[in-house]
Amino acid sequence: MSQPGLTGANLEELVAGLAARFPGASCQVHDGWIWADLPPESWRPACQWLREEGCNFLASLTAVHRIDQHQMEVVAHLYRVESDAPLAVRVRLRTTLPDQVGVELPSVSDVWRTAEWHEREVYDMFGVRFTGHPDLRRILMTDDYDGHPLRKDFRDRKPNLGLTAATLARDATPEPARG
């Protein structure tokens, strides 16, 4: 007996709905997940629509700095969680932004409250600004910290505490067995 929401047809209906409602969206089902790539202008409306379609749990919202492609990706993992059914729908939603500190994307913190924390972390670590966020400020680094540590072009400015190529090589060499 099949559970509600677990059929491939339901996933395909969501994929078709995303593709029809959001021009430029690329959607497919992969290993039981819906993978959707959206243009930035569709990010917030697609999140709102997916929430209305039952994706009631935002598991993560993060970023990936693709320095070689001069892009910043923002990725969300969404689930439809129902109290009387097993996990039914899983969505990986992604949008691609230009590679620059301060690039903007609309906040979805009013769609999923937990997005407030996730968006603050992405802002702090990658420099993506979420417009409409109720309290966009650093969450891990101090307010006066200069930079965004998870960007691939980040330069660590703390002092070198004796780490050199020679100390790394020495530490990587196994000690002889004692016997």
> 2: Cβ–Cβ under 8 A, 6 or more apart, which residues?
none
* Domain regions of the chain by residue span: 8-172
Name the band, by pLDDT with cuts 50, 70 and 90, for residue 1: very low
Averaged pLDDT score across all residues of the chain: 89
Write down the pLDDT at residue 5: 43
The mean pLDDT value for 58-80 works out to 97
Asked if residue 112 has pLDDT above 80, the reply is yes
The mean pLDDT value for 120-126 works out to 98
> Between residues 54 and 168, which one has the greater pLDDT?
54
CB atoms within 10 A of CB 77: 17
Write down the pLDDT at residue 10: 77
Q: Which CATH superfamily is domain 8-172 in?
A: NADH:ubiquinone oxidoreductase Nqo5 subunit (3.30.460.80)
Write down the pLDDT at residue 175: 78
Percent of the chain with pLDDT over 70: 90
The mean pLDDT value for 169-176 works out to 78
Name which of 112, 136, 114, 111 is nearest 126 in CA terms.
136
Percent of the chain with pLDDT over 90: 69
Cα 130 from Cα 7, distance rounded (Å)? 35
Give the phi and the psi of residue 30 in degrees, each rounded to 5. Answer: -140, 115
Write down the pLDDT at residue 6: 41
Write down the pLDDT at residue 9: 57
Q: What is the pLDDT of residues 12-67, one digit of tens each?
A: 889 999 999 999 999 999 888 999 999 999 999 999 999 999 999 999 999 999 99
Cα 65 from Cα 74, distance rounded (Å)? 9
Write down the pLDDT at residue 4: 42
Cα 98 from Cα 76, distance rounded (Å)? 18
pTM metric for this prediction: 0.81
